[in-house]
Chain A
Amino acid sequence: MAEFPLHLIPILPFIGAAIALLIGRRLGKNVITLLCCGSVAAAFIVSVKGFLVLHHDLPPTGALVGRFFEAPWIKAGDLNISAGLAMDHLSAILCLVVTGIGFLIHVYSTAYMEHDENYTRFFAFLNLFTGSMLILVLGDSLPVTFVGWEGVGLCSYLLIGFWLDKDANALAGRKAFVVNRIGDFGFLLAMFLIYSRTGTLKYTELAGHIDQLSAHIWFGLPVAYFVGLLVLVGATGKSAQIPLYIWLPDAMAGPTPVSALIHAATMVTAGVYVVARLHFVFEAAPVTLAVVAVVGAITALFAATIGIAQRDMKKVLAYSTVSQLGFMFVGVGTYLNNTHTANYQAGIFHLVTHAFFKACLFLGAGSVMHGLNGEGDIMRMGGLRKWMPHTRWTFLIACLAIAGIFPLSGFWSKDAILGGVWHASWLTSGPPTNFLEKMAFAKDGDQFVIHLGHFLYPVLLLAAGCTAFYMFRLYWLAFGGEYRGPAVSSAALAHAVGDAHDTHAAHGHDDHGHDHAPAHESPPAITVVLWILAIGAIVIGFLGIPEVVRPGFDYFGEWLSPVLPPLVADESASEFWMFAAIALAVSGIGIGLAWVLYGHGPAVAVRNFVARAPRLYRLVFNKYYVDEIYDFLVVRPVRFTAFLLWKAFDAFFIDLILVNGVGFLVSGFGKLSKYLQNGDLQRYIVALIVGGAVIVGVGTHYDVWAGAKFETAVAGRDVRVVAHGAGTTAKRLQYRVDWEGDGKFGATQPSPNFKHTYDKPGSHKIAVEAIDPRWGTVSRESRTVKVQ
């Protein structure tokens, strides 16, 4: 542990955001640009410094701690949570990705959003997001991470709905927010569960307390299982996995840089990060890792197939992101029970490489739309290679990377995942210890497990093939063939596609669109960023060349090893190359198919196919109707319940009974008292007199001052009664006694002393009356006595 001013990393973007939000409008665009980009760049520099300190000055297991925030944060009874920051080898990488790619996207945005009237707000939110993401990454405990987690969710919401003048954007933002909330709920529950069992939420302390999570059994399962599954729920929300992925494609309503930064490179990987961060919890419950992997694999294939049929450039990339996140989930979910190691490194590695090539792809798409004045439909593009060479080349590189073509980065990270999952075996080889394992084992010991891994491998392979296919379909439809868009004139350019929101950014280029080219290359701020990311997408993979291929070159794995132990699999070099060859072949098939069908624009076969629109096509094109299914299964029941609640509870009970009821009571009283308050003075006087009469009448019947209390003394059958007249009238009171409680009173006398002898034993009810002779008032008290 070494101290380091870690707080600077998130604080710097926050300061930028605060200044931009508070006084940004007065500062002017240039200052905002400098401030926001500069603060993120500064954060990047501090991150690099932290990385170097971590690399050079500390032992491999060391970590940096930032004590700046480390004051008691939440204190209640035994609960004592401090807000601390820590940077270990894992968060250092994430930090570099967030600040580095974040900075590039900031630079890109200066050109992309140049003509947006809400330039300041955009950069403020972008900075806010960066800071929140850094809090998430650097948090040394779950609550701090959760603050960042919610912060990025908020920023995502704000930025999806950035162009809030259109309802669709606001709805998309709301959808993202609501769906994420489901995940957040799981995350929160996991946090509570962990705290209730271990008493700590710090990652470093948690690792030592993990046996407490395994020791507690709930419903026949260690609590670790529930924690793992709840964390997974949170992760599926944030990382857009089945079943909560539906918000991500809609999130493309935001500006393209946002899609690149938040919905491709950083925020959506938070789920992967948290799973890796809490890896010890998952290892205590290996089946949950299997669930992670299965969810990831299904999502990967599912989203990839949807991506094939999408026509919107950003939608394709969105589904691609969902699919690639599925790969990452498989990576972090891969577990080998015989070596007790998991493939977190591959998942994180893919996270990093994906950040580069997917950011490059999104920014390329943004560049294309920028050049086409907001056109996002790939069917109306084509031939753009002529006008947008930089965009075209960088896009091609990124496509090759995501398709996993040797030796680009995607190849290495994807093969690390694919190779790992083949070997995966999640369950202990010993006798099953709980019913979940018993169910999974069936009868054949761990055979089932092997099969599960072998099932996931082809699924992923297919997903990889689909990825290659739709990415190159996208590439060729956009850049290959001939331009298929509407005939262009500069005037038409300015207004034809006005409904697409990226026109906001593009309007400024109208004035130099006189060459009648349908598209134009983007300014340097965009192309330079694209090239940096493309180069990153090429070279970043070389940091993670597996040991079996070339020992000593797995810098990435070596770096992560202190935090995330590497997967120890019995894999030889030849096996690796075999997997690589298979994956390459599948990708090649995908690319080839894409070339045949889309190499020169959509082939006739494709047009016919789409025109006939068979059921399968429609199914995929409509994203498997998942939104509709959710609408039917979740939204409508919720709406119906809400409707019922609204009608039955809100409208009827609250509004009618309570609100209107009170009003009705008041107005009813008003209507009644209207007859009293009729302005007729004389009736008021009558009321006064009646009131006086009532007071006199009641007052003379019940003497509130007189109270007859009496005491009894029993001796054998003799009973003595002593009455006490109370109040101011006591002096003149007279008394009489009813000895049997039958209403027959004895003589009235001024003396309060009475004596009576009963004939027979038993209970007798005695009543004593005190009489005020002047007013004729009587007060009575009775009691039961027992005589022998």
Chain B
Amino acid sequence: MIPIHWFLELAAVLFVVGSLGVILRRNALIMLMGIELQLNAANLTLVAFSRAYHDAHAQAFAFIVIAVAAAEAAVGLAILVGIFRNRRSVNVDELTIMKH
């Protein structure tokens, strides 16, 4: 029997790792991957609670999160391609034209 909070804590760790990737990496691609990690961490909690309550609603939520994550990844990657085409770089610390 696996205690349910183990899954929750695993999700927390994954979330931290994903967040660190988002915060610290220059490469926007890796940032997107970090975001995917965060989303999956959230999904893990949903599935864990779903199991804890024997309630399939949370799984439906997780399903929707996967769909939204797919959309996010598609648009985000498209934006990256667009940015790369203009600036020949996908380093976020160089994408600061809003500042000027």
Residue positions of A touching B, CB distance < 8 A: 674, 677-682, 685-686, 689
Q: How far is the CA of A8 from the CA of B97 in the complex (A)?
A: 73
- Stretch of B1-9, B17-25, B58-66 on the interface side: B17-25
Min CB distance, A695 to chain B, in Å? 16
Q: Is the Cβ of B97 less than 8 Å from the Cβ of A679?
A: yes
Task: Summarize A's interface: helix, strand, loop or mixed.
Answer: helix
Instruction: A678-B96, A685-B22 given; name 10 further pairs at CB < 8 Å.
Output: A674-B99, A677-B98, A678-B99, A680-B92, A680-B96, A682-B22, A682-B24, A682-B31, A682-B92, A682-B93
Q: Is B75 an interface residue (CB 8 A)?
A: no
Taking the closest CB of chain A, its distance from the CB of B45, in whole angstroms, is 15
Shortest distance from the beta carbon of B33 to any chain A beta carbon, whole Å:
14
Q: Within 8 Å CB of B93, what residues of A? A: 680, 682
Q: Residues of A contacting B19 with CB < 8 Å?
A: 685, 689
Assembly CA distance A680 to B96 (angstroms) = 6
| Set of chain A residues within 8 Å of B22, measured between Cβ atoms | 682, 685
Shortest beta-carbon contacts, A-B, top 10: A679-B96, A679-B99, A679-B98, A681-B92, A678-B99, A682-B23, A685-B22, A685-B23, A686-B23, A680-B96
Can you name 8 A-B residue pairings with CB atoms under 8 Å?
A677-B98, A679-B96, A679-B97, A680-B96, A681-B95, A682-B24, A682-B92, A685-B19
* B 81-100 to A, binary, CB cutoff 8 A, 1 in contact else 0: 00000000000110111111
CA distance A677 to B19 in the complex (A): 20
Residue of B nearest to A686 (CB): B23
Chain B contact-residue range equals 10 to 19
- Kindly state the separation between the CA atoms of A680 and B97 in the bound complex, as whole angstroms: 9
In the bound assembly, the distance between CA atoms of A682 and B20 in angstroms comes to 10
Nearest residue (CB) in A for B96 is: A679
**Shortest CB–CB separation between residue A693 and chain B, in angstroms?**
11
* Residue picked from B31, B92, B97, B100, most chain A C-beta under 10 Å: B92
Instruction: Show the binding face of B for A, using Cβ within 8 Å.
Output: 19, 22-24, 31, 92-93, 95-100
Chain B proximity of A440: nearest CB distance (Å): 83
Complex Cα spacing A7 to B98, Å: 69
* A681 / chain B contacts, CB cutoff of 8 Å: 31, 92, 95
Residues of A within 8 A of B24 (CB): 682
CA A395 to CA B18, docked complex, whole Å: 106
Name the A residues within 8 Å of B98 (CB-CB).
677, 679
CB distance from B38 to the nearest CB of A (A): 10
Alpha-carbon gap, A679 to B93, bound state (A): 8
* Closest B residue by C-beta to A689: B19
Is B23 within 8 A of A679, CB to CB? no
Other-chain residue from A677, A682, A685 in contact with B99 (beta carbon distance below 8 A): A677
CA–CA, A679 to B87, complex, Å? 15
State the Cβ distance, B52 to closest chain A Cβ, in Å.
Answer: 17
Residues of B contacting A680 with CB < 8 Å? 92-93, 96
Q: In the complex, A679 Cα to B99 Cα: how many Å?
A: 5
Nearest CB to that of B98 among chain A residues?
A: A679
CA distance A531 to B65 in the complex (A): 104
Complex contacts, B23 vs chain A, CB 8 Å = 682, 685-686, 689
**How far is A689 from B97 in the complex, measured between Cα atoms in Å?**
23
Chain B residues whose C-beta falls within 8 Å of the C-beta of A689 in the assembled complex:
19, 23
Closest to B35 in A: A685
- The residue of chain A having its C-beta at the shortest distance from the C-beta of B25 within the complex is A682
How many angstroms between the C-alpha atoms of A534 and B99 in the bound complex? 84
Cα A674 to Cα B96 in complex, Å, equals 12
- Cα-based distance from A686 to B19 in the complex (angstroms): 9
Q: Which residues of B contact A682 (CB under 8 A)?
A: 22-24, 31, 92-93
Alpha-carbon separation in the docked complex, A653 to B47 (Å): 63
Output the residue of A674, A677, A681 with the most chain B CB within 10 A.
Answer: A681
- Residues of chain B within 8 A (CB-CB) of A686 are 23
- State how many angstroms separate the Cβ of A379 from the closest Cβ of chain B: 73
Chain A residue at smallest Cβ distance from B97: A679
Docked Cα-Cα span, A297 to B23, in Å, equals 94
Please report the C-alpha to C-alpha distance between residue A679 and residue B98 in the assembled complex, in whole angstroms. Answer: 5
Among residues of A, the one whose C-beta sits closest to the C-beta of B24 is A682
In the complex, A682 Cα to B96 Cα: how many Å? 11
- The minimal Cβ–Cβ distance linking B13 to chain A, given in whole angstroms, is 15
